Amino acid sequence: LHLDLFPNLKLLALNDNEIPSLNGLKGMFQLEQLILDKNKLTTITPDQTLDLKNLLELYLERNSLSKLEFIRPLKKLRKLFIGFNKFVAKSSLTLLSELEDLQELTIHGNPLFRHSNSYRDYLPE
């Protein structure tokens, strides 16, 4: 995609593109909003999000993600949408507690919550 040609992008919408992996975001220091809903993402590593230090909103609904390690570099994240992925273990969500600025979170539609009366039972304290 040659996104390195657009280092000043603030919004990048790549939803509904059947993207299997997240590559090509190096140098996207100005990016504030990234939309990746409805792709085929199974894994995102912290190395792939390292340059996204100014990211405020991340949309990842309807992929196949099961781990959240990629959020570690995203200290400014305010909105995270990870509904309808493959989160099955409560431990997969513990990293959410590191997002001190998080204001909005959607996690519905994941296997973790299919047999629970309340999603609150699964959130980190």
Handedness of CA 58, 108, 90, 67 (dihedral sign): negative
Task: Locate all alpha helices (DSSP H) within 8-98, ordered by sequence.
Answer: 46-49
- The pLDDT, as a whole number, for residue 115 is 64
Kindly state the tokens that stand for 63. Answer: 């992929």
Taking the complete model, does pTM exceed 0.85, yes or no?
Answer: yes
Confidence category of residue 112, pLDDT binned at 50, 70, 90: confident
33-79 pLDDT, tens digit per residue, is 999 999 999 999 999 999 999 999 999 999 999 999 999 999 999 99
- The pLDDT, as a whole number, for residue 121 is 60
Sheet holding 104-106, edge to edge: 11-13, 33-35, 57-59, 79-81, 104-106
- The pLDDT, as a whole number, for residue 55 is 99
- Check whether 92 has a pLDDT greater than 60: yes
Q: What residue ranges do the domains of the chain occupy?
A: 1-125
* 57 vs 32: CA distance, rounded Å: 6
* 80 vs 22: CA distance, rounded Å: 17
52 phi/psi in degrees, rounded to 5: -95, 45
Mean pLDDT of 84-112: 92
- Fold classified for 1-125: 3.80.10
